[in-house]
Amino acid sequence: MPYYYSLGQVPHKRHTQFRKPDGALYSEQLFSTEGFSSDYSLLYHCNTPTQIIRTEPQLDVMPEIAEEKMLKHRSFEGFNLPAESDYLLSRKPVLVNNDCHIVLSACQESMKDYFFKNADADEMIFIHEGEGVLKTMYGELKFTYGDYLVIPRGTIYQVEFNTTVNRLFIVESFSPIRFPKRYQSKFGQLLEHAPFCERDIMPPSNLVTYDEKGDHLIRVKKKGVLYGLHYNHHPFDVVGWDGCCYPFAFSIHDFEPITGRVHQPPPVHQTFEANNFVVCSFVPRLYDYHPDAIPAPYNHSNIDSDEVLYYVDGDFMSRKNVTRGMITLHPAGIPHGPHPGTVEKSIGKKETRELAVMVDTFHPLMLTKYALTLENPDYVMSWAE
């Protein structure tokens, strides 16, 4: 999805002989998430990436749906999710549909004994708290507060935290996560009116080649089931790669807000898109500068999308009782808007310090049992005067 990039050594011509110092061939792998008809990369492994030596029993991790149908505004205390040591077990799906799963994690420890591959979904991992390194077969991505890590499905990775208090807001997307089409030229370059550009997109760096034999466990998630596949070599055995399909990092702090004389609609905050949902970044910005402007948003009907807002930091002028890590869900079918009193209060304000991530889905979301354990009851009545 991003621009062409290359790291390490690649042969002069694709699909030709590329040999190690001892004369043996490197093993070429074409990596894409949409067959042979979209962006791809070519990776060169020391070992063939197909050598499974042992398999483990499978584990069902399909989200347990608690409410399939509902029509209520909901709110959840994301930071009440208990911390867990294991990365995969710490990931708790809260809101799900067939296009995406919204997942929270308060993972305490780095992945040491295994690697992970999500065979179903591209992942967008928003780092709310914590820092570390995402290690992948493409190289490393350092991450810190405010980073989006976007990982194409099929990428083998390992998360190494430098911190024990970590809060992740994750979207698993069952279609490729891309930048908004309207921000790209017909050849894919980010245009002048986009709120970010290629310089803000961090590709992997520090490609370390682990040419190591031995039993290496890769946990692979497919159709809600975790499989344990043991390979006879280290999965990060790549000496070089090139192409346009690779994981990257983008900091929400590099999102340049688009502002106007009167209130700008949510699409100006859009950051990513996939089939049937979008991701938006609400960042600190100057308010509307028409002399009679109302900075608070207008009520809106959102009849065709469920709106999920994940509150990161700062103050939220249109909402009361907001906490860090809170999620609100405003479902399609009933309008929502600013809380009572917040419209008048917003008039004359010059700027907001709010930081939030929004996911708008075009098909309704279902609530999992984890969501219910985090719920603030009676939120639906919080507009009543």
Nearer of residues 214 and 265 to Fe ion, judged by Cβ: 265
Min. distance of Cβ 195 from Fe ion in angstroms?
19
Whose CB is nearest to Fe ion?
Answer: 307
Min. distance of Cβ 336 from Fe ion in angstroms?
6
Min. distance of Cβ 172 from Fe ion in angstroms?
23
Residues 68-127 that bind Fe ion (CB under 5 A): none
Dig out the tokens for 50 from the structure.
Answer: 């197909």
Contact between residue 304 and residue 293 where contact means Cβ atoms under 8 Å apart:
no
Min. distance of Cβ 338 from Fe ion in angstroms?
10
Nearer of residues 188 and 266 to Fe ion, judged by Cβ: 266
Min. distance of Cβ 359 from Fe ion in angstroms?
12
Nearer of residues 121 and 322 to Fe ion, judged by Cβ: 322
Min. distance of Cβ 70 from Fe ion in angstroms?
18
Dihedral of CA atoms 121, 90, 179, 354 in degrees, nearest 10, equals 160
Dig out the tokens for 277 from the structure.
Answer: 């949902």
- Residue 243: how many CB atoms within 10 A of its CB? 19
Nearer of residues 214 and 335 to Fe ion, judged by Cβ: 335
Nearer of residues 259 and 302 to Fe ion, judged by Cβ: 302
Amino acid of residue 78? G
- What b/e sequence results for 211-222 when a residue is b if at least 16 CB atoms lie within 10 Å of its CB, and e otherwise? eeeeebebbbbe
Nearer of residues 254 and 307 to Fe ion, judged by Cβ: 307
Dig out the tokens for 338 from the structure.
Answer: 């600013």
Size of the site for Fe ion (CB under 5 A): 1
28 scored as a contact of Fe ion (CB under 5 A): no
Residues 287-326 that bind Fe ion (CB under 5 A): 307
Helix (H) or strand (E) holding 282: strand 277-282
Cα–Cα distance for residue pair 138/131, rounded to 1 Å: 19
Instruction: Report which of 104, 82, 83 is spatially closest to residue 93, judged by C-alpha positions.
Output: 104
Cα–Cα distance for residue pair 132/142, rounded to 1 Å: 6
Q: What is the contact surface with Fe ion in residues (CB under 5 A)?
A: 307
